[in-house]
Amino acid sequence: MTSTAPRPSGARTAEPSAASSGTAGSGLRARLLEGARQGRWLRPVLVANLVAQVVIVITGGVVRLTGSGLGCPDWPTCAAGSIAPVVHQAEGFHKYIEFGNRLLTGPVGILAVAALVAVLLLRPARPRLRLVAALPLVGVLAQAVIGGITVHTDLSPITVSTHFLVSMGLIAVSTLLLLRAGEGDGAPRPVVPTAVRTLAVALSVTTAAVLVVGTVVTGSGPHSGDVDQPARYGFDPRTVSWLHADLVLLLVGLLIGLLVALHIAPSTPTARRRGWWVLGVVLVQGLIGYVQYATDLPVLLVALHMLGACLLVVAVTALWVSLRERTDELVSAA
């Protein structure tokens, strides 16, 4: 005889609840994917990627300023046989500072991947932007290798300088990616005369020279990253500091010339505004540089000078982008 007793209420509601949960989960995933395709998350992800690239430069500076460059004397492990620092290491607190900086590579890499994925998901697709979006991830992977070489060469000044300069390149690329996301995918069209663009090229080259010589100044002074052997390059700190200052003066001269050109030649309000931002960063950097030189390189001022270098790269890159426009397929969400 077939039972006609009703099923328990729990049995009646279990299947609909599971189905409802699955539907809700699918709906959330669909909304997130649709938001990504529309570029809703693009700008926040790209801003976070740029900020992370700056932050890891500052933490790398802390490693240098505390003489912790060899706090983890091995790579990819921190000490022989251990990824993390071990208590019996002779490096003391330096091992924790260096290991902390290594750990930041993970979040920086994740944000670089997120930036690439955010661009890949855009619809309609933006092939030209995808190439730019891949560069931060490639750079982070390269930095991991360069970091390993730096450790295995006992802080060779050349690899230490390269490590910093690649970070400056990553900041420039991340700034470009953020700004390019708000443009179209058409061919770039100059908005200033050729002479103004030539001045901008000279400004960019001089900025690169200032950064390169700046690494030599650091490697010739007390903050090369090694507490036992600070002056790695062996150059006279006073001489290379003067060379660095001379290049900064050249940079200021070129920048003033560019600002004058932007105001008397055809240009855009954005280009003029960004030119003034570059001048502001350069003047503050110059002030910090002279004060730190006159006060025997206090750690806080050196750290601020490194932050200023990051902001200078951001400002110069933004100025360069403002000298041309791409009007095709403008991305309204960026």
Predicted confidence (pLDDT) per residue in 111-145, tens digit: 999 999 999 988 888 888 999 999 999 999 999 99
Q: What is the pLDDT of residue 30?
A: 67
The answer to whether 287 and 252 have CB atoms below 8 angstroms apart is no
**What tokens appear for 241 in the block?**
């500091």
Question: Residue 85 above 80 pLDDT?
Answer: yes
- Comparing 21 with 308, the larger pLDDT belongs to 308
Q: Which has more pLDDT, 15 or 223?
A: 223
Confidence of residue 25 (pLDDT cuts 50, 70, 90): low
**pLDDT at position 13:** 43
Averaged confidence pLDDT in the chain: 85
Whether the pLDDT of residue 22 is over 80: the answer is no
Q: What is the pLDDT of residue 74?
A: 87
User: Measured at the alpha carbon of residue 132, what is the angle toward residues 131 and 135, in degrees to the nearest 5?
Assistant: 95
- pLDDT tens per residue across span 299-320: 889 889 999 999 999 999 999 9
Residue-level pLDDT at 83: 87
Check residue 71 and give its pLDDT. Answer: 85
CB 48 within 8 A of CB 117: no
Strand partners, 226: 68
Please state the rounded mean pLDDT for residues 203-211.
97
d(CA 152, CA 244): 29
pLDDT score recorded for residue 157: 86
Amino acid at 148: G
Q: Note the pLDDT tens digit of each residue in 157-193.
A: 889 899 999 999 999 999 999 999 888 888 889 999 9
Say which range, 67-81, 228-242, 293-307, has the weakest mean pLDDT. Answer: 228-242
Residues 217, 233: contact at Cβ < 8 Å?
A: no
pLDDT tens by residue, 232-270? 777 888 899 999 999 999 999 999 999 999 999 999 999
- Answer yes or no: is pLDDT of 323 > 90: yes
**Rounded distance, CA 209 to CA 168, Å?**
12
> Residue 278 pLDDT > 60, yes or no?
yes
User: Between these two residues, 245 and 27, which has the higher pLDDT value?
Assistant: 245
Strands annotated E in 65-210: 189-190
Q: What average pLDDT does this structure show over 63-87?
A: 83
